[in-house]
């Protein structure tokens, strides 16, 4: 066999990616973070009970997402948990979640004694399907948690309508979606509550951290209290009017987050531009399916870039494709989530709760999640911060590997 320029690098061909010019290391920071951290250090006000940096960031972030109220807390997992508790979701209630998401979306329901129930995703967008959600509603359902996966807003008009019709709380899991907007309105307060994560991998980070946003004053007060040992905003130190956790963010984290927030629009613009270029380079490639555009998605958070390559669904083939992509120079790529309705630990805990209460546990059928979890690859957020030349290389690498998908090892 002769080696030509179209040959895969793993077979001795020329790598598709440029040798130099990689995207910036993540997290991105500069002197703004350094200065802000030092200011907190020397102020000796390291906690939000004494300093005002957390409160300032809460206001700035809520404004950025056009929400009336914002409360920061330790992470995105507990942000969902606190949002559920604030909404009154508790023991034996059912919470409908998508199976194609990070495990925290479902685990949060278990943390309040509720049962996560999986409804299928739309195979084109990987997002929770409103019709499948409606079909999963029972008399025990209390809340729905649509996830703005990869930064792409879920169909919030349909979910808001569904919430009204069935009297359900809608909690947006916007961990991957700061800066995203649906029909012109930023995510976070499109539902009753919205939750965010500032963990290391996210588009805005302090290493760890999270936030809960809402337009509802009463819910906001409950969230504040849950995060602050049952205290009341503006109340006394030992005035505990409810039972709450201590989930406070530190002033150091908020100092970093203020700088990250200020930089976010600039980075999102780069991500948007690169995602548009990448989509245009890939949309006509046979066998490659990037998510279709949707006019209702007026701003995409562009946390990850998901694409389906149906030929990779054969056993072992997607792993072979990842090795082939790495040889082309593309290493920031993942095979994504194992769907949660297949996670034994989640199912066992859910069944244990349902059994104790003598409730049925609805076994989920999620064929779309099963399919997309086998043929999806995603590019990590750092990729979308690359140069134009880098993005063209990414497209060339994916095109090469997709064209050879049938020949990749792994057909058992």
Q: CA 290 to CA 187: how far, in whole Å?
A: 22
x/- map, 27-46, ligand PLP, by CB under 6 A: --------------------
The stretch among 71-79, 291-299, 308-316, 397-405 that binds ligand PLP (CB under 6 A) is 71-79
Enumerate residues 128-147 that contact ligand PLP by CB under 6 A.
147
Residue nearest to ligand PLP (CB): 76
199 is a contact residue toward ligand PLP (CB under 6 A)? yes
> Angle, to 10 degrees, between the axis of helix 317-328 and the axis of helix 388-403?
140
End-to-end CA distance of the chain: 24
Please, which residues bridge with residue 308 across strands? 289, 376
Q: Is 20 left (phi over 0), alpha (psi -120 to 50) or beta?
A: beta
Judged by CB under 6 A, the stretch of 32-40, 53-61, 170-178, 248-256 that binds ligand PLP is: 170-178
Residue among 184, 126, 120 at smallest CA distance from 150: 126
Q: What is the smallest separation between the CB atom of 358 and ligand PLP, expressed in angstroms? A: 31
DSSP label of 44: T
Q: How many CB atoms lie within 10 A of CB 2?
A: 4
Residues of 105-137 as b/e, b for ≥16 C-beta within 10 angstroms? bbbbbbbbbbbbbbbbbbbebbbbbbebbbebb
Residues of span 352-411 touching ligand PLP by CB under 6 A = none
Give yes or no for residue 212 binding ligand PLP (CB under 6 A). no
Closest contact distance (angstroms) between CB of 174 and ligand PLP is 8
Q: How far is CA 237 from the centre of its chain?
A: 35
Q: Of 84-103, which residues contact ligand PLP (CB under 6 A)?
A: 101-102
Is the Cβ of residue 43 or residue 380 nearer to ligand PLP in the bound state? 380
Contact 270, 380 (CB under 8 A): no
CB of 150 to ligand PLP, least distance (A): 9
Scan for tokens 């990070």, then name that residue.
102
Q: What are the structure tokens assigned to 179, written together?
A: 């800066």
Only one of the segments 169-177, 220-228, 273-281, 379-387 lies at the binding site for ligand PLP (rule: CB under 6 A); that segment is 169-177
Minimum Å distance from CB 257 to ligand PLP? 13
β partners of residue 121 = 128
Number of residues counted as binding ligand PLP (CB under 6 A): 14
**Cβ atoms of 333 and 379 closer than 8 Å:** yes
Residue nearer to ligand PLP on the CB measure, 8 or 82: 82
The nearer residue to ligand PLP, 51 or 210, going by C-beta atoms, is 210
Decide if residue 197 touches ligand PLP (CB under 6 A).
Answer: yes
Catalytic status, residue 400: no
42 CB-contact burial (10 Å; exposed 0-12 / middle 13-18 / buried 19+): exposed
Closest alpha carbon to 376 in 295, 331, 317, 327? 317
> Which residue among 173, 215, 251, 349 contacts ligand PLP (CB under 6 A)?
173
**77 makes contact with ligand PLP (CB under 6 A):** yes
Task: Pick the closer one to ligand PLP by CB: 15 or 70.
Answer: 70
Contacting residue, 36, 83, 86, 104, with ligand PLP by CB under 6 A: 104
Tell me: does residue 210 bind ligand PLP (CB under 6 A): yes
Q: Which of 35, 45, 202, 222 is catalytic?
A: 202
Is the distance from CB of 189 to CB of 214 less than 8 angstroms? yes
Residues interacting with ligand PLP, by CB under 6 A? 75-77, 101-102, 104-105, 147, 173, 175-176, 197, 199, 210
Catalytic residues: 202
């Amino acid at each position: 066999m002769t080696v030509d320029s179209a040959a895969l690098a793993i077979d001795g061909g020329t790598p598709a990616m440029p040798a130099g010019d990689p995207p910036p290391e993540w997290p991105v920071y500069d002197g703004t973070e350094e200065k802000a951290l030092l200011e907190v250090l020397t102020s000796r006000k390291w906690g939000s009970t004494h300093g005002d940096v957390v409160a300032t960031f809460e206001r700035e972030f809520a404004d950025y997402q056009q929400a009336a109220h914002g409360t920061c807390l330790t992470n995105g997992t507990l942000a969902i948990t606190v949002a559920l508790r604030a909404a009154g979701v508790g023991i034996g209630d059912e919470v409908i979640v998508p199976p194609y998401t990070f495990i925290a979306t479902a685990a949060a329901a278990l943390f309040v004694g509720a049962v996560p129930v999986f409804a299928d995703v739309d195979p084109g967008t990987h997002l929770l399907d409103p019709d499948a959600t409606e079909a999963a509603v029972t008399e025990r359902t209390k809340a729905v948690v649509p996830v703005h996966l990869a930064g792409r807003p879920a169909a919030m008009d349909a979910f808001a309508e569904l919430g009204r019709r069935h009297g359900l709380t809608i909690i947006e899991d916007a961990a991957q979606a700061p800066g995203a907007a649906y029909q012109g309105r930023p995510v976070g307060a499109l539902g009753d509550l919205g939750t965010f994560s500032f963990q290391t991998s996210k588009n805005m980070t302090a290493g760890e951290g999270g936030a809960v946003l809402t337009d509802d004053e009463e819910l906001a007060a409950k969230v504040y209290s849950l995060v602050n040992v049952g205290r009341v905003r503006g109340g006394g130190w030992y005035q505990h009017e409810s039972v709450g956790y201590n989930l406070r963010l530190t002033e150091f984290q908020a100092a970093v987050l203020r700088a990250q927030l200020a930089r976010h629009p600039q980075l999102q613009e780069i991500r948007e531009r690169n995602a548009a270029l990448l989509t245009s380079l890939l949309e006509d490639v046979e066998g490659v399916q990037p998510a279709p555009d949707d006019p209702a998605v007026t701003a995409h958070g562009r946390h990850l870039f998901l694409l389906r390559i149906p030929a990779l669904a054969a056993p072992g083939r997607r792993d072979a494709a990842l090795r082939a992509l790495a040889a082309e120079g593309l290493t920031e790529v993942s095979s994504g989530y194992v769907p949660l309705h297949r996670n034994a630990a989640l199912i066992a805990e859910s069944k244990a709760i349902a059994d104790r209460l003598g409730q049925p546990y609805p076994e989920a059928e999620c064929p779309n999640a099963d399919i997309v979890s086998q043929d999806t690859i995603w590019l990590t957020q750092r990729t979308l911060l690359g140069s134009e030349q880098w993005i063209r290389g990414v497209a060339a690498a994916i095109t090469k590997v997709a064209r050879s998908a049938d020949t990749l090892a792994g057909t058992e």
